[in-house]
Structure formats: structure tokens, C-alpha cells
Amino acid sequence: MNPASPAAPARRPGTRAASGARDSVVAAEVLVTSPGRNYVALKITTAEGLVGWGDATLNGRELAVAAYLRDHVAPLLVGRDPARVEDTWQYLYRGAYWRRGPVTMTAVGAVDLALWDIKGKATGQPVYQLLGGAVRDRILTYTHATGWDVPELLDSLDARREQGFRAVRAQTGVPGLDTVYGVSRGGAAYEPAGRGAAPAEEIWDTDAYLRHAPRALAAVREHAGPELKLLHDAHHRLTPGEAARLGRSLEEVDLFWLEDVTPAENQEVLRHVRRHTTAPLAIGEVFNTVWECQSLITEQLIDYVRTCVTHAGGISHLRRIAALAEIWQVKLGPHGPSDVSPVALAASLHTGLATPNFAIQEYMGYEPRTHEVFRHDWSYADGYLHPGDAPGLGVEVDEALAARFPYEPAYLPVARRRDGSMTDW
């Protein structure tokens, strides 16, 4: 082929036809806002004037995703047909030589959410209808109870049950430690992303935790009675042996799930945990693709997969994870902390309403300012969530209000053992 020969002015696949029959993306803009904590939103606008919103928040690495989107993805989106959601997903995933990883997959996820939002608005349908329609009427949700000692934990649990929650994650302080991630002390925030240029450092003691947690959780079960769905998160901190011991010691407590017992990288260790306990295991909030879920699902080493709709490539990819999991009777219980925005929660709920093996949605809740910036159609009532019936995802961002809350660096704490060495987060 002669490189000098004039090329036909071919239209790139996925871009608007010359006839103008299809809508096309005219802008993809990144918005960073901090109404209580930092969020990254992606706004895609089309020639027809439709606006789609995606969430691109990656706690503590927000600006990395913002730059990835702004510098490497937004220019590729302009001119594309927004209706081609799957093709755009394939283009961004397969088209980048450097696949996977939280930054890439959160960026891909944000685009996917915004395009589903546009598809819903273009067709006048809530996204769950486009995914096949509701397979349930509402989505069971769990929230968090936290107390430094057992009486405080029981008070927190009772307050959650008064709000109607039927499933609660219980986290307790550890005698001898000053702070424990996920546990409030003296009314302070319990999963703080401390403002400032560097994370706070905490001391962690696994032996003390393993001595205390089973007793505290047994007290919770005794107080709550048999029906409450009780969950507990070990935050990736145990060895396989420690995890197996914890699972065994909690069998009488009858947990709904025991979460993130070991660091997620070495998945083989879960075989050891599985051999020694029948406690239902949940893992995956830090996973980004179906590939990290594959052997855990097909070997049935877990009962629940926790991938977050944004961090695992959006609705399109979460549906793939769900489809694989369904075959192996593994259920979805997606991550839903306040460090992903209400757009992410909406996307998870639309997926959940239309996905048979979706078991439960985490709902940590948001500050009032966050609800004001992200005005959402989803709602909570009586222990259940519903995505609402607005076209698209049903979340609109108040950009003027968002601009009043500029980004501030904020990080979750890191942990060291008593000898000063770093421990798993």
C-alpha cells in the first residue's frame, strides 16, 4: 500500500453518521466537588442536548481518575454515538493497551454510567427497564453500626433498627487501641478521610482484635435476636489462619457475611479459609474486573461478590460479573460507601432491580450537602432501596452548588503494627 495514496474520508465506527441520523457526544467534562467528601463526576452532553452523569470517584486517588478522563478519554468521546454503550465500553477497555486497574476501570465505569443515563433519557425509561425490567420490587440494604464498646455498639444498632434497617454491619473498638478504622469514638466520623496532604497513621493489633471481636459480635446477636441480618468487615487485615479462626469463632453468631478477611491479591488463601469455616464470605470491593472474580466464583470460595459499579467498569461490566456469579450461585452485594457518589448508588440500584442474583446493597448514607449537590430519585424506606422511575439513572448534579465545595486532599488512615511496620490496610 502506498502510504501517500489519499485515504477515503472514512467515518470512525461509533461516530455520528454524516446524515445526522444519530445523536453524538459534543462534550465530556469532569467535575470535582467536595460536599462533605471528595467526588468526581463525569458529565457527557450530546448534540440533542441530553446530559448523562457518571461517577468517577476513587477515594484518595480522585485526581488521578479526573486526569485520566480529562486527558485520555474525553477527547475520544466527542463525536461518538452515545447509544453505542457496549461498543464504547469495548473501545475504552480493549483500546487501551494498559488494561484494568482501579484508575482505568473507574474511568471506564464513569463513561458507562453516563451513557446508560443518556440512553434512559433518550428513550424516556429508567435504566432498570432497559436492563430487562424489575425482577424484584425493592432492594434489601444494609448499613453500619459502630460503637467503641459493646453498650455503644448496641445503642448504634438499635438506632439503625429504628430507622428500619433489617441488615446491619457491626464494627467494634478494640481494647488497648486508640482508634480503629470503621469505628466511631466519641462521636467522631467512623470512616474518616482526613483532610490534609498525608494520611493519619493508626496502630493496629490483630491479636487484640481476634480476642475481642467474637465476644462483641456474640453480644450483638444476643441483643438483636435471630432475625437481624448481621454483617462484619475485617478490612483485609488477617492471615488465612487468622481468618479461618475468626470464621469458626463466629459460626454461632450466624453472620449474613464476613467481609474482606484477607488481602484480596492472593486469592488462593481463601481455599484455606473456606475449608475451616462455613461463615458466608464476601469479598471484592477493591476488584475492578470479572477476571479478579473468576476463580473465587467458579471455585465457590465466596458467597457474595462486592464489586462496586463504578470501580468495576460500570453497569455493563457489573452485569457480566453478575452473570458469571449466577451460574455458580454466588450473589452480588455491592460496595456502597459514602466515598462513591449518589450517581454510583443509583447505577447499582438500577442494576440490582434487574439482576436476579443481586442480594443486598450497602448503604452508608450521605451528608445533607451531598444529597443537595446530587439530587436523586432513588429512595430509602423500611430497610429497602429503590432506584426510582425517572428516565436514566435519576440523578442530576447541581453544578452551581457543587462549585461551592472545592476539592481538598483527603486520605483514609494507614495502619502500622505495634512494632512500627506497615500492616495491610
To Mg ion, the closest distance from the beta carbon of 332 in angstroms equals 14
Q: Are 166 and 383 in contact (CB under 8 A)?
A: yes
Distance (Å, rounded) from C-alpha 417 to C-alpha 425?
11
- The reply on whether position 23 binds ligand CS2 by CB under 6 A is no
To ligand CS2, the closest distance from the beta carbon of 302 in angstroms equals 15
Among the listed residues 144, 212, 232, 235, the single catalytic one is: 235
- The reply on whether position 362 binds ligand CS2 by CB under 6 A is yes
To ligand CS2, the closest distance from the beta carbon of 191 in angstroms equals 5
To ligand CS2, the closest distance from the beta carbon of 144 in angstroms equals 8
Q: Please pick, from the candidates 59, 156, 184, 357, the single residue that binds ligand CS2 as defined by CB under 6 A.
A: 59
- The reply on whether position 307 binds ligand CS2 by CB under 6 A is no
SS3 192: coil
- The reply on whether position 339 binds Mg ion by CB under 5 A is no
| Nearest partner of 261 among 291, 240, 231, judged by Cα | 240
| Nearest partner of 213 among 196, 229, 199, 230, judged by Cα | 230
Distance (Å, rounded) from C-alpha 69 to C-alpha 111?
9
| Nearest partner of 162 among 143, 181, 190, judged by Cα | 143
- Cβ-based nearer residue to ligand CS2, 201 or 252: 201
- Cβ-based nearer residue to ligand CS2, 37 or 319: 37
- The reply on whether position 143 binds ligand CS2 by CB under 6 A is no
Backbone angles phi, psi at 89, to 5 degrees: -60, -50
Number of Cβ within a 10 Å radius of residue 170 = 28
Residues 181-220, interacting with ligand CS2 (CB under 6 A) = 191
Across the chain, how many H-helices and E-strands are there? 14, 19
Residues 225-254, interacting with Mg ion (CB under 5 A) = 233
Distance (Å, rounded) from C-alpha 148 to C-alpha 372?
31
Catalytic residue annotation? 181, 235
Give the interface with ligand CS2 as residue ranges (CB under 6 A): 59, 191, 233, 235, 285, 335, 337, 339, 362, 412
Query: Which residues bind to Mg ion, rule: CB under 5 A?
Result: 233
